[in-house]
Amino acid sequence: MSKKEIDPETASEIKKELAELRAQLEDQKRSKKKAAKPKEEKPKKKAEPKKKAEPKKKAEPKKKAAKPKEEKPKKLTKAEIAQAKKEAKAAKEKEEAEAKAAKEAAERTPEDDIEDEFSDEQIRNFQIEKMDMDKLTNKVCEIIADYEDKGVLQSELWKKLKLNTKDGARLALRLERRGLISREKLLQKGRWTYKLIIEQAPIKLESLVDSPCLTCPVEQKCDFENAYPEPSPLHCQLIENWVAIEFSKKKK
């Protein structure tokens, strides 16, 4: 079979078409390669071995701020209790003694100093120079007796007798030691002093002048042990009348 000859123009056209087809094929191949090319995957990290999950700890309750513990007082022994009582008693007695001493110091008078300075015997035998102490004693007692239970301030009495404070104070102490007067401490115009009160009034001869006993005709037979109608001071009308008259005089 004879080959059919192809003219050159046709051959060049065929070549041209083939070249175009090849070009198209190449383009298709490239596009397919691009589409089929896988993405570059990053190298995977080696999987680390999984750690065993630790059991969850239970949440501990929040602790409250610790309060300071109150220390309980230690129990004392019997000996310690006794000693504590003894010390408390001693402290109380000391406090009372100090308070008493402070009070006595505030209430102290010149008479108190004299009592500390002289003994009881020296006070009882006290003498004022150039004075009859018996007469002075009677006079002082008579003045104090006039004030009866009210008494008289010793400062007023010493003025009347013109005695200084020291002699007057010793005289008052002398009379008190003999039981003739009593002294009562009192606060006068911000100062402590004494009020003198009669305890044993002196006998006044004037009070016996009108006594019925001095002129009584049966005075020798009169006796406390006699029974009525025998004469006795216990049922004597003359004595009763005389006492009533004297009492009315004093009352005036």
Instruction: Give Cβ neighbours of residue 204 (< 8 Å, ≥ 6 apart).
Output: 142
- Of 133, 181, 139, the closest CA to residue 160 belongs to 139
Do residues 221 and 239 lie in contact, with contact meaning Cβ atoms separated by under 8 Å?
A: no
What was the pLDDT predicted at 195?
92
Q: Measuring CA to CA, how many Å separate 195 from each of 30, 53, 147, 167?
A: 150, 107, 11, 16
Classify residue 190 as left (phi > 0), alpha (psi -120 to 50) or beta.
Answer: left
Domain residue limits, the chain:
111-198, 205-251
Question: How high is the pLDDT of residue 25?
Answer: 83
For the chain (252 residues), the mean pLDDT of every run of 10, in chain order, is 64 82 83 65 59 60 66 79 90 90 78 79 84 89 89 90 88 89 88 88 62 80 84 84 75 58
The predicted structure's pLDDT at residue 88: 92
State residue 51's pLDDT score: 58
User: How many angstroms separate the Cα of 73 from the Cα of each of 56, 80, 83?
Assistant: 45, 13, 17
Query: Which pLDDT score is estimated for 113?
Result: 78
pLDDT of residue 29: 80
The 10s digit of each residue's pLDDT in 111-166 is: 777 778 888 888 888 888 888 888 898 899 999 998 888 899 988 999 999 998 88
Give the pLDDT of residue 182.
93
CATH number of 111-198: 1.10.10.10
Q: What is the structure's pLDDT at 111? A: 73
191-198, strands of its sheet edge to edge? 152-153, 191-198, 181-188
pLDDT at 229: 83
CA 16 – CA 10 distance, rounded (Å):
10
Please choose, from the candidates 202, 205, 187, 188, the residue with its C-alpha nearest in 3D space to the C-alpha of residue 144.
202
